[in-house]
Amino acid sequence: MLLQRRTNYFNKVEAQSISLFYSGRAPHLSADAYYTFTVNKNFWYLSGIDQENAVLVMVKSQKTTDTYLFIKAIDPVEALWVGESLSFEKAAQMAELPVENVKDIQTLNTFLSGLLSATRRAIFGTLTTVYFDMERMSMDDEPLMGERQAKLFMEKYPFMKLLNSHGFLTDLRGSKDKYELEAIKGAIAVSVKAHSHLLDSLKKVETEYELEAEFNYILNRNHSKPAFGSIVAGGKNATILHYEHNNMPLQKGDLVLLDLGARKDYYASDITRTYPINGKFTKRQREIYQAVLNVNKAIISWAKAGITQMEYNQKGKELLALEAKKIGLIKDDSELGKYYYHSLGHALGLDVHDVTDPQVAFKVGQVITVEPGLYVAEEGIGVRIEDNIVLTETGAINLSAEIIKEVDEIEKYMAK
């Protein structure tokens, strides 16, 4: 698996190049506390290693390619405090590398110096290009490790050509391989159990945070963690798109919107359901809910590889506008923005909002979300229904179909 991913990457980069990928470090929180470490997803995608302060070095010449992994050596004192880090032998097995290609992180700079000096030219020739994984969401963001390391590197080797590898990894991670699909299915399987438990718990809890606790309980029982900040939004709170306070009472007669995700083997699910707290939809809740459900199901039937993100979003808007007019919510398409203010979905994988190029059509094997919604603040009703689908050449497979969403199914289940 990892060998194939690295081969795919090597096929994209220039010859006589070196590529560096960093696992990252947990940022400082305060005093002697640090944020929880989260491995860089591109590093993990190519190495299979989840450990701080590790570097993957990939070298491509005209005739050969080779990969090296640099990790910290086991520290007996540190092991007493936080546990033992990976041995070189274990890391080699996990990364699908010869053990001699796994080295002490303390030797990285010496290794790079040798790689770029005349003494190593007999093996790889003169390396002229260096790739760093550089991602920037906005001008205001602090530079991530790839960008910081690129700056330091170019100060020492200004004669080399600097290129960004992030676009290549975005493309490679688009179409999911067999392992990735199984991991996503595993995360969804945890979500299936969680939603059944939440439906069982709805009439027993009184607050949003109790419902969130029930979700976390099922995840812990299944060796999983939340994939993102859980949204448990009762009543009017559901009209706030990224509501995350989860601290208000649940009122009988309201709906509760649950936008929840599980993580399994590093991959995420992202599923939303909206349920009546007392087990029965009111007439108006049913109208709005059914309008959203109709769009959700129509998109799943329509979606396939080859469509673009723009086409996908536009189709969702057109269908939602038709449904909103049917129930008297709007009279003209231009009014839809008052009740629907997000895109129809996003790529899903190692990241919940997985890396993707919106200018490139969806690929065969790409996993995306389908999440139409209507948010009517003046009526205290917010509805979103989100499924996770994998795209084929001719259509889509709903990976989260096991989680019930039909009005009659929900009411029947909650009446038990």
pLDDT digits (tens, 9 = 90+) for 117-147: 865 566 788 999 999 999 988 888 888 899 9
Q: How far is CA 92 from the centre of its chain?
A: 26
pTM recorded for the entire structure: 0.94
Mean pLDDT of 295-306: 98
Q: 267-268 and 373-376: which strand pairing? A: unpaired
Q: What is the pLDDT of residue 118?
A: 66
Topology, domain 2-172: Creatine Amidinohydrolase; Chain A, domain 1 (3.40.350)
State the Cα–Cα distance between residues 232 and 320, nearest whole angstrom. 23
Nearest to 233 by CA among 259, 215, 210, 253: 259
Q: What is the DSSP letter of 30?
A: E
Nearest to 280 by CA among 374, 384, 414: 414
Percent of the chain with pLDDT over 70: 99
Nearest to 134 by CA among 145, 142, 126, 123: 145
pLDDT digits (tens, 9 = 90+) for 345-400: 999 999 999 999 988 999 999 999 999 999 999 999 999 999 999 999 999 999 99
User: Residue 162 forms beta bridges with which residues?
Assistant: 130
State the Cα–Cα distance between residues 198 and 205, nearest whole angstrom. 10
Strands of the 271-276 sheet, one edge to the other: 231-234, 255-260, 271-276
Q: 33-34 and 102-104: which strand pairing? A: unpaired
Q: What is the DSSP letter of 275?
A: E
End-to-end CA distance of the chain: 45
Q: What is the DSSP letter of 207?
A: B
- 190: CB partners within 8 A, 6+ apart: 218, 219, 222, 224, 262, 264, 269
Asked whether 399 and 389 are in contact (CB, 8 A), the reply is yes
Q: 65-71 and 55-60: which strand pairing? A: antiparallel
pLDDT digits (tens, 9 = 90+) for 240-299: 999 999 999 999 999 999 999 999 999 999 999 999 999 999 999 999 999 999 999 999
Specify the higher pLDDT residue, 169 or 203. 169
Asked whether 250 and 180 are in contact (CB, 8 A), the reply is no
Confidence of residue 416 (pLDDT cuts 50, 70, 90): confident
Q: What is the pLDDT of residue 137?
A: 83
Cα radius of gyration rounded to whole Å, the chain: 24
**Domain 2-172 shares a fold with domain 178-415:** no
Domain spanning 178-415 has what CATH number?
A: 3.90.230.10
Comparing 147-151, 183-187, 355-359, which segment has the lowest mean pLDDT? 355-359
346: its two tokens = 């996003």
Residue by residue, DSSP assigns 315-384 as HHHHHHHHHHHHTTS-SSGGGGGGT--S-S--B-SSSSS----TTSPPPTT-EEEE--EEEEGGGTEEEE
CB neighbours (10 Å) of residue 218?
21
Q: What is the pLDDT of residue 83?
A: 79
Asked whether 315 and 299 are in contact (CB, 8 A), the reply is yes
Q: Where are the domains of the chain?
A: 2-172, 178-415
